Amino acid sequence: MDIDAFLRERRPDWDELEQAARRAPGTAAEVDRLVALYQAAATDLSVAQTRYRDPALTAELTQLVARAQSRLLTPPRRTWQQVGRSVLEAFPAAVWDMRRAVAISALFLLIPALVAGWWVASSRDVQNAVMTPAAREAYLAEDFEQYYSSGPAVQFASQVSANNARVGALAMASGVLLGIPTAVLLAFNGLNVGQAGGLFVGAGQPGYFFGLILPHGLLELTAVAIAGGAGLHLGWAVVSPGDRRRRQAFADAARRSLRVVVGLVVVFGVAGVIEAWVTPSGLSTPVRIGIGVVAWAGFLVFLTLFGGAAGRDPGADPARVAAGHAPAPGGSTSS
């Protein structure tokens, strides 16, 4: 097939994808159609790059595929009522449904943290390689603690929450690439936390480190693990779709992951408030840690009660619940 015939045959689908990528899909059927068009356009891009080698066509399809991917991975704008419903219903149901992926994500985060912490804490040579003695002394004595009061609390909370939300969104979105970038991102964040902890433990100051990291870190790292779980869940849907067509499995996983991202915005916001007001406060270490533990435990109870209830409801289809469709009386679902 020459390039003109290729353009005539494929142009209608590209135009349809262009229009679909401009608006948020409102129904499951619209999501499925967007996924199908996106996958077909990605295949067309590969064909254009390898067979036709037309720079203009390659650039056009690259931009089209990028816009479609962005639409698939960006939560649509919602009313406050819809956001509340997503956070209180669809979010815990989606997290519960992907709980095994979240557990694996937590291991990708925690194992590098523990290994790095032990390695740094047990060797002065490693500590010197990580940071010069002078820089390490300043870091342990002032820099680490001063970070939490480096700006006005409102501004600091906003910046931290936004940054954490970006990390969470990246961990989820990169799951499209078979989950590999997600695992790397989780391990990298775990290594950073472990390295910092290892420096304090090696200096004989573990209580100082945990007194600053645990108030907000319990909730924050749990949220990162959940975001990573959403990314791994998305990647696994591509690798192993089960008895569904691959694009259907991807669409279902994408809907769950988007609801997780919406809920995590709230969780990261709460962690940011704790990090801005509680972590650097003059409260005693047990009180600060206690506040963090209460917030973390409350979040876990919320996920267990609401997510577990959705999982135990024989009338609830997890894919539809996670997509924002609440189970209706009698076991049917409302749309």
Comparing 15-29, 197-211, 274-288, which segment has the lowest mean pLDDT?
A: 15-29
Residue 333's DSSP bridge partners are 327
Q: What is the sign of the dihedral through the CA atoms of 255, 261, 264 and 266?
A: negative
SS3 334: coil
Ranges of each domain in the chain: 3-73, 80-322
Asked if pLDDT for residue 322 goes beyond 80, the answer is no
What are 152's two structure tokens? 């006005």
Half-sphere exposure at residue 88, Cβ-oriented, CA atoms within 13 angstroms: 7
Half-sphere exposure at residue 308, Cβ-oriented, CA atoms within 13 angstroms: 6
What are 132's two structure tokens? 């010069």
- Cα angle vertex 298, ends 206, 84, to 5°? 130
Q: Provide the pLDDT confidence category of residue 317 given band limits of 50, 70 and 90.
A: very low
DSSP states of 173-240: HGGGTTTHHHHHHHHHHHHHHHHHHHHHHHTT-HHHHHHHHHHHHHHHHHHHHHHHHHHHHHHHHHH-
Q: For 250-308, how does the pLDDT look when each residue is reduced to its tens digit (9 = 90+)?
A: 888 888 888 888 788 889 999 999 999 999 988 999 999 999 999 999 999 999 888 87
Tell me what the pLDDT averaged over the chain comes to.
82
Q: For 74-89, how does the pLDDT look when each residue is reduced to its tens digit (9 = 90+)?
A: 655 555 555 555 567 7
- Overall pTM surpassing 0.85 (yes/no): no
End-to-end CA distance of the chain: give it in Å, rounded. 43
What is the rounded distance in angstroms from the CA atom of residue 117 to the CA atom of residue 124? Answer: 13
Alpha carbon distances (Å) from 15 to 34, 39, 41, 51, 55: 12, 14, 11, 22, 19
**Cβ-proximal residues to 322 (8 Å cutoff; 6+ apart), any chain:** 90, 93, 94, 97, 255, 256, 259
What are 193's two structure tokens? 């936390």
> Tokens 């700006």 map to which residue?
151
- Nearest CA-CA partner of 208 in 196, 200, 216: 200
